[in-house]
Structure 1
Amino acid sequence: MSLEQQLQQQLQGLQPEYLEIINESAGHGGYFPGKESHFKVIIVSSIFAGLRLVQRHQKVYAAATGLVAPGQIHALAIHAYEPSEWQGQAPASPLCAHAPKD
């Protein structure tokens, strides 16, 4: 099972109403086809109600236990929303300074 699939499975514990996982590995240094190291997670769940941003991130990291580790997920961009906050899209990720040059 790929890291992306494992992450998808583990985040189901947060009861998402919406969950999108984007593999952004290709935009980072050291990328090769099939590499999984950088992900962006957009998650909408009522579990985040009343929580500060850092608390929401802590819940996501706790759900991803074991995956954010050396040799696995190197970076995880988290966009966590309550259903009432979700506007249908998350901000774009910044470009990596070590991204492959064309």
Structure 2
Amino acid sequence: MCSMIDFFEALELKESGVVFLGNNKSCKVQDMGYVHLRMFDIREMLLQDVWYVLELKKNLLSISMFDGLGYSTKIKHDMMKISNNALIVTKITKRKGLFILDGYILLLLVHL
């Protein structure tokens, strides 16, 4: 889920449903597109069906999305590793109960 409209090159604002957050707050899904993640080593991943949700304060990635792309996710001792075969794509440390991907690791480019 992405809240930054500037990441989208073309966007038709139309409501596409609702997503519920952990506190049961509902947020409208405005549209859907795809995102290229550029990782720290310049490799890219294509994430499909990314929802544009204006009310989010942070962009959210799901482990199931990485699983659908064929990546493995391992969590141990407050460290998450996302890998593709033997190649580690990124390491994420848990902070305040969440695994937060540092902004300097990736560049988000969203296209529809």
Larger Rg: 2
**Fold-level match, TM-score > 0.5?**
no
Which protein is richer in strand relative to its size? 2
TM-score bin, normalised by smaller chain: under 0.3
Which protein is richer in helix relative to its size? 1
TM-score with structure 1 length normalisation?
0.27
TM-score with structure 2 length normalisation?
0.26
